[in-house]
Structure 1
Amino acid sequence: MDNDHRWRLFNLDSLLDEVDGPLPEASTIDLFIAAISFKNFDFVGRRLSFVCESVTYRLEVWQRLIDAAPLKYWIKNKQEGVLIYPQSDFCGALRSYRYRGPLLDVNVMSSDWVTVADTQTLYSALDTPAARSVYDAWHRWMTSTTKEAADLAEGRFANTTVTRSLILSSLGACLACKEPAISSARTTIASVPGSGTLIQLPLCGPHLEQAKQQPNVLKFLGTLFSLSIDIPEFGRSEFIPDELIPHVHAMVAEELGGSAASVEKREKGWHLRIDLPHGWWWLLRLKSLMNYSYMLFSPSEKKQVYRADSAPDHHDLPFFPDHEHARPDRNSDVRSPSFLYGNPFFDFKRLRQVSDERMRPTEQAR
């Protein structure tokens, strides 16, 4: 455990660089780390699963953390200080902080440091059944309260061009007022195909209605907490504007390896046909984000062999109403959540998966 080269420390300064204004107090700095401690460090090897380790290279930050730290350890063989902030209801992980900046005169530091021989001794002292129990209980609770949001994110990772997710959680309560949360407000942001970010925050009924009045959840957060969030001014629309339809048609056709064919505006929305190799083709019906369908046709059958749509007729499925039919042309059809948006800009990944899978036997037979 003394081999520090094995363990990566989170650079706290990279987080503070994103904060405007004066340097926050130590309690706020620690709150930043506590707020992202659930699952965000899971990909990093850790000495103890319930300890999130950070480092600063700024003396001012280090001094603030020292002044507020409940536990301060001096590792004798490394001549290094380690600060420990305790577990709480909000964060079941211990947070440790180190300083790796210019050399520090240890004589000017206060005397209330606990000296330990080495890193192994420190982490052995931290590794108690009580600490593990608190962390495990907190982790189970957080997993439970974020399950719906996490399941949606995983579904969209699999079926859409979303690649990142930010879930803001408040232990099952509304992020704005601590009343019980009834649902999540969501926004997905992407500037180019294939790199969307899904943002979710739990809200109570009244605050959910307030969020709906904003163009996106970031604007809602900025209004709610008086934050200066530098994002472009986006309008809000429940449908794809007509002037963008030709661009969407061409983009999706290219992503699917096909060609944009007929396009027609009907009473039930735009009908976009995309011709694929070997006689296969897609029909995309786009009226609104809550009224759409994607249908795949094979060269030998006039009926759909796959369909994803938003028809509100399968209330038993999670993440209603968006769902897909594996074989709508057969009695053995299997229905499941699709996790789609009703916007091909995000959804073409699933369409490509389906057409590649269905067309494979045709290509192999040739």
Structure 2
Amino acid sequence: MIIGVPKEIKNNENRVALTPAGVAEFKKHGHTVYIQSTAGEGSGFKDEEYIKAGATLLPTIEEIYGIAEMIIKVKEPIASEYNLIKKDQLLFTYFHFASSEELTHAMIKQGAVCLAYETVEKTDRSLPLLVPMSEVAGRMAIQEGAKYLEKPLKGKGILLGGIPGVPPAKVLVLGGGIVGTQAAKMAAGLGARVVIMDVSLPRLRYLSDIMPQNVVTIMSNEYNIREAIREADLIVGAVLIPGAKAPHLITRDMLKTMRPGTVVVDVAVDQGGCIETCTPTTHENPTFIIDDVVHYCVANMPGAVPYTSTLGLTNATLPYAIQLANKGWKKACAENEELKKGLNVVDGKVVYKGVADAWNLTFESVETVL
């Protein structure tokens, strides 16, 4: 198969979808790999390393899309890429269709095969291609939140861990999945007082067992959330419903009950956000303020630490990408239930229910396209 890796062109997206080591693996299986020039530089990989691994460099994104049977990316295509995508071309990347109606309709129109990292799902319901970036985003949420609590950045002027004789900050984490767990660990490690909420009692029991003493678990419901946000200094939104829009756990009216300078970090913003007032921002302009509450809503947080993120992501995606290349997407998805669940839009049909529901589109069973 002919594999194409374009350079990411989303604002401040420095990750790359394939490392030189990944190129070598594809070559070992007899595939041809084209990399757009300088695609890996943001992550610390030089063109020479890709050439040495066996890739062919092409200077433009148009040439990459023009020649490849499978495009491997990190982030969803943006508007300038839509018309480059060919009918029946396989795109393997993060899509987050439920947060973008424009992207959904564009991929339907292009007739592409859209296999989304974020909905590849194991039998235990874990999301193997979302986990590494969720780990990065969860840890970064505290790193960034601590920074924006500083007074020059319009925060409360609170040091997350406090000092002897001065209490630490109060951190509220909504959601006890991968993002929430990592965020709570980081906040606790810095000495903050942490509350983590989830709707699953078994999950809360597990978290209560593994977390240090400065982390408290509380059942997530509207009453408890309204009470907790009044005291919180930093709030992390870490709720995910695979392939679907995140629910709004904090609504616009709740902001007025928070103290001025509170910081909210909505990691779920690429799935619509779990804080109603959050809209996607970029690393260039990461925050905005509503009702004296600082909102940090960067949709590609791991892009700020591209070396770590690229290695973490490609460790997870490469085995699946090799299967797709070796067998072709139809056979690979028919034989692997995990990959089958990654199919979202195929030949103009929406085959993932969460996406169809998000935009009131006709849902067709994935079996109709295999």
Same fold (TM over 0.5): no
Specify the structure having the higher radius of gyration (Cα). Answer: 1
Q: Higher RCO, 1 or 2 (CA under 8 Å, sep at least 6)?
A: 2
Higher helix content, 1 or 2: 2
